[in-house]
Amino acid sequence: MSDDPRDYHAPANLLHDRIVLITGAGSGIGRTAALTFAEYGARTILLGRTQAKLEAVYDEILAAGWARPSISVMDFAAAQGDDYAQLAESMQQEFGRLDGLLHNAGILGERSPIEHYEVSKWLEVMHVNLNAPFVLTQTLLPLLQASDDASIVFTSSGVGRRGRAYWGAYAVSKYGIEGLSQVLADETSAQERIRVNCINPGATRTGMRRAAYPGEDPETLPPPESLMGPYLYLIGPDSRGVTGHSFDCQ
Ligand code: NDP
C-alpha cells in the first residue's frame, strides 16, 4: 500500500468503539467528517455553535443506524473556561476517554489588506481559529491521555504555510495552528499513545470557500466527501506513530 494518506482506503470497521469529537460538525467539511466517522463505527461528539445544524447531523447518523452521537453546543467566540470544563466533565462521566479530536471549526474573517483589517475582526478570528483549539486541546488532554491510542488533528490551510495578500488573520491563525500542532507533537513525542498532526483540505466545495471566492463555480471544486481518506487515516488507528506532520488532502 502507498504511504500517501490520499490513497488510503479504510476498512469498514476502522473506528469501531472509538470516541471522536469533531468541532464545526454542523456544516461543511466537519459535517461530512462526522457522518463519515460515524459510518466507520465511531461514537461521535458533534460540537458546534448552531444547535439546529448539529441536530440535523445527529438525526442523519441515527437514521443510518450508526452509533448514537452526542451534541455539544459551544460558540468558540464566546465560550469561557467553565464551558470547556463542563464539556470535559460530561465526557469524563459518559466515556472516560477520548480517542480522536478533529479541530475543524473555523471562520474566514475579512478578505482585506493588513492596513485596513478591522482590529475587532482580527481578534475574533484569532480567538475562534487559534485560541479556542488551544484551550479545547488543553482541557481535553487528560481524556486523550486516558486513551490507548489517541489522535489530535488540527485543520490548516495553504495560507497557513505561505502567506498571501488579503488573507489577514485567517492566514496568521493557520500559521499559529501549524505551530501549536508542532509544539504539542514534540511535547508528546515520547508518548506513543498520542499523536498530533495537521491536515490541509485544500480548495473544497463549502460555504467558507464560497464566501472567499464568490465568483467561482462550486461545481469545479471537490466536495468534502472526496477528502475523507486522509481524515480517516489520521483519526483512525492506522496512523499510530505518525506525529508532527502536516498533510494535504489534494
Ligand atoms: P464552513 O464555514 O463550511 O464550516 C465551518 C464550521 O465551523 C461550521 O460548522 C461552523 O458552524 C463552525 N464554526 C464557525 N465559527 C464557530 C464558532 N465560533 N464556534 C463553534 N463553531 C464554529 O467551513 P469549511 O467546512 O470549509 O472549513 C472547515 C475547516 O477547513 C476550517 O478550519 C477551514 O479553515 C479549513 N479549510 C477549508 C478550505 C475550503 O476550501 N473549504 C480550505 C482550507 C482549509 P456553523 O455552521 O454553525 O456556522
All cell numbers assigned to 92: 469524563
Compute the CA torsion angle 31, 182, 246, 211 (nearest 10 deg).
50
3-state secondary structure of 200: strand
Tens digit of each residue's pLDDT, the chain (250 residues): 567 899 999 999 999 999 999 999 999 999 999 999 999 999 999 999 999 999 999 999 999 999 999 999 999 999 999 999 999 999 999 999 999 999 999 999 999 999 999 999 999 999 999 999 999 999 999 999 999 999 999 999 999 999 999 999 999 999 999 999 999 999 999 999 999 999 999 999 999 999 999 999 999 999 999 999 999 999 999 999 999 999 999 9
Quote the CATH superfamily of domain 12-248: NAD(P)-binding Rossmann-like Domain (3.40.50.720)
105 CA: nearest ligand 1 atom: 7
- Domain chopping of the chain, boundaries: 12-248
156 CA: nearest ligand 1 atom: 44
Maximum distance among all Cα pairs of the chain, rounded to whole angstroms: 52
**Ligand 1 within 6 A of 47 CB?**
no
Please tell me the predicted confidence (pLDDT) of residue 3: 75
Q: Which of 168, 142, 144, 148 is nearest to 157 (CA)?
A: 168
Number of other residues whose CB lies within 10 A of the CB of residue 161:
15
Across 25-98, the runs of DSSP E, i.e. the strands, are 43-48, 70-73
The C-alpha atoms of residue 211 and residue 110 are separated, in whole angstroms, by 10
Q: Which of 122, 102, 98 is nearest to 112 (CA)?
A: 122
Query: Annotated catalytic residue: which of 170, 175, 213, 233?
Result: 170
Mutate to test the pocket of ligand 1, among 72, 104, 128, 164 (most ligand atoms within 8 A of CB): 104
All cell numbers assigned to 86: 463542563
Q: Of all protein residues, whose CA lies closest to atom 4 belonging to ligand 1?
A: 28
Taking the alpha carbons at both ends of the chain, their separation in whole angstroms is 18
All cell numbers assigned to 85: 470544563
- 184 alpha carbon – ligand 1 mean position (Å): 22
